Structure 1
Amino acid sequence: MFTVALPLALAFIMATLGLGLTGADFRFALRRPRPLLAGVLSQVVLLPLVALALIQLSGLRGELAVGVLILACCPGGITSNVMTKLARGDVALSISFTALASLITSVSLPLILQTTAPLLTDGGLPQVSVAGLSLRMFAMTTIPVVLGVALHRMRPSLALGLERRFTPVANGLFALILLITIISQWSTLMAQLGRLAPLLLLLNLVMLAIGTLVAGAMALPVPQVSTVAIESGFQNGTVGIAVGAVLATATAAATGAGTGPAAALSPYSLPSAVYGVVMMLTIGPYVLWRRSLSHAVTASRLADADSQGSTLRPGSSRETAPGSRSS
């Protein structure tokens, strides 16, 4: 039952994301290629490389190592969009990039796993078709987003109303999936927590820093820097858990161990669940910092505008100077 419920829950979460999107959002984002380029460079290219390097340095092997890499190949999610809003980032960019990253990772994740698995495991991955895994990811992530966008196009008021109602439910499902995964793998978590938690915490901090630096190097505005950094350091754990479940089910079928919740919720999925907790510890302070920075920039601009306006007002020092000389 869980092997059916998990993909459905993920599809619901992604469809909720799509309900808030329009074609205009994508066109607006595409007209600003620098922020998208910064996001792709940080999240799609650098994040898997950083994760692979940290895995090698930590000495982590086997299913947990593969699980960390799965996590690093995941797009962002609804929660990253919420955090972007709280940080006063560019929400339209965040939502558009999450949708774009979902499309990219449905192809890149299976290819990266197939290429790097020999470095992380002794026996390699179970015999899972790269094309088959891509199609499953496409069905779980991209198609629901497209359906949400289509409904928004046909019935915008209905779509926005559903988005407001469904977003809390989607966030609740995300938290529930993390909790179930952690509980089901509690013994493995306790045995590996000393290595897994520091690795994931470091991955999160490094990617927040890299996202900030990459976007800053491209001279993006403060809201867009915040968006790129949050998208780089905030991954959709539900996607990672679902992909881990696919690999676990394939392993169970290949070894004759049977399928079911015990098989689906394997160590492949555990890093994504733990990361969902770890990133909440770091994202809060980061969001507060970026929010205060955005507020300071806005206040500075308002002060500059007020200062420039005051020089043109009658009665200002510049206007009264001639009169003072004639008196």
Structure 2
Amino acid sequence: MIELVLSVGLALIMLSLGLSLQPTDFSRALGQPRALMGGAVAQLILLPLVAFALLRLFGLNGDLALGVMILSCCPGGITSNVMTRLSRGDVALSISYTALASLVTAFTLPVVLSLTAPLLLPSQTLELSILPLSLKVFSISTVPVMIGVWIAQQAPGFCKRNRQKAEQLANLLFVLIVAGTLISQWSVFTSNLKTIGPTLLALNLLMLAIGLSLGNLLTMPTEQTTSLSIEAGFQNGTVGIVVGSLLGPDLMQSQLNSFSLPSAVYGVLMTVTIIPFIAWRRSLPSLAASPQAEINC
């Protein structure tokens, strides 16, 4: 039952994301090779590598460690687009990053897990078949985005009228899913917070810093560098929670397994760390008050 509720909640969040997109959002990054390369390197390569390196550094293994790797493969979401706007970053680029990452997650996530699971769970046999997992992730994350884009094309007036409501609903569902995960796993959360908290906080701060450094290295404009940093360090924890629930062999009707917990904890931590980041980026004199592209829906 809990798996069904989570899957439906994630599908609605990704549908609302699709409603905010246009086909041009998927191709915009292709016309900006430096920005595209920066986003691909940060999200698809560096994020999983940094996560795995931190797990080794802190000596973490087991279900929680694999949960961190699940999180590292998750794309951004509507929340990252909102945070980019508040930080005066390039919102259009942020949407492009989110759109592209949402499409490829169904393929990259199972591959990363298949490579790291034997190392992080050496004493367990995890039934992890790449194709079935890819299809599940594709059906609950990528397909709703594509449906949302189609609706936005067919009914632009409806989309425009309900953009803010869809965004608010997505953020509310995100909060409810994160809170529900923490409540259902409260004993696990409190007993493991000292174990996984430093790793997740380090991952968040490192990826924000790596995004900034990579943007500067590629001589990207300040607004684009801000977008890259947020997309690298602000992940869609709902995807991680749902994927974790799909993997857990001990999933009960009223409780989630510990594969999902790191994504829920990260959802809280990144909300706290993003506040000073937003204040800092907004204070930069180089960030002109030029109008940024709004979410299209």
Q: What's the TM-score bracket when you normalise by the shorter of the two chains? A: over 0.9
Shift of 1:235: 0.4
Higher helix share: 1
Query: Is the 8 Å Cα contact of residues 106 and 135 (structure 1) preserved in structure 2?
Result: yes
Gaps of 5+ in 2: 291-297
Change beyond 3 A, Cα 1:165–1:125: farther
Aligned position for 2:293: none
Who is 1:310 aligned against? none
RMSD: 1.5
Letter in 1 for 2:207: M
Aligned-partner Cα distance in 2 for 1:261–1:282: 31
TM-score (norm. length: structure 2): 0.94
Residue by residue over 1:241-280, the C-alpha shift from the partner in whole angstroms, topping out at 9 and shown as x without a partner, is 00000001xx13xxxxx74232xx1110000000000111
Structure-2 residue corresponding to 1:261? 254
Shift of 1:45: 0.3
Distance in 1 (alpha carbons) for counterparts of 2:125 and 2:174 = 26
Identical counterparts, % of pairs = 50
Q: Which residue of 2 aligns with 1:275?
A: 266
* Superposed displacement of residue 289, structure 1: 1.0
**Structure exhibiting the larger radius of gyration computed from Cα positions:** 1
- Does 2:278 match 1:290? no
Asked whether the equivalents of residues 25 and 99 of structure 2 are also in contact (C-alpha less than 8 Å), the reply is no
Instruction: Return the offset for 1:297.
Output: 3.8
Secondary structure of the equivalent of 2:137?
Answer: helix
Query: Could you tell me which residue of structure 1 aligns to residue 14 of structure 2?
Result: 14
C-alpha displacement of 1:296? 3.8
Residues 125 and 34 (structure 1), Cα distance of their counterparts in 2 relative to 1, 3 Å cut: farther
What is aligned with 1:79?
Answer: 79
* CA deviation after TM superposition for structure 1 residue 86, in Å: 0.3
Deviations 1:211-262 (A, max 9, x none): 00001110101110000000000000000000000001xx13xxxxx74232
Contact between 2:28 and 2:96, CA under 8 Å: does it hold in 1? no
Instruction: Quote the residue 1:223 is aligned against.
Output: 223
Question: Distance between the aligned counterparts of 1:125 and 1:222, measured in 2?
Answer: 46
- Counterpart amino acid of residue 84 in structure 2: T
Instruction: Determine the C-alpha separation between the residues in 1 that align with 2:31 and 2:105.
Output: 22
* Letter aligned with residue 225 of structure 1: T
Aligned residues: 290
Instruction: State the partner residue of 1:324.
Output: none
Deviation at 1:105, TM superposition (A): 1.5
The AA in structure 2 aligned to 1:179 is A
Q: Distance in 1 between matches of 2:273 and 2:41?
A: 22
**Cα distance, 1:25 vs structure 2:** 2.5
**How far apart in 2 are the matches of 1:174 and 1:137?**
17
Q: Taking CA–CA contacts closer than 8 Å with sequence separation of 6 or more, which of the two structures ends up with the larger relative contact order?
A: 2
Q: Which amino acid aligns with 1:158?
A: F
Shift, 1:28, TM fit = 2.5
Judge conservation of contact 1:48–1:73 (CA < 8 Å) in 2: yes
By how many angstroms is 1:125 displaced?
4.9
Q: Which aligned pairs between 1:146-185 and structure 2 lie closer than 5 A? A: 146-185=146-185
Does residue 203 in structure 1 map to residue 203 in structure 2? yes
Contact 2:88 2:223 in 1 (8 A): yes
| Structure 1 portions without partners, runs of 5+ | 253-257, 302-327
**Runs of 4+ off more than 4 Å:** none
Deviations 1:160-206 (A, max 9, x none): 22222111111011001001111111111111111211111111000
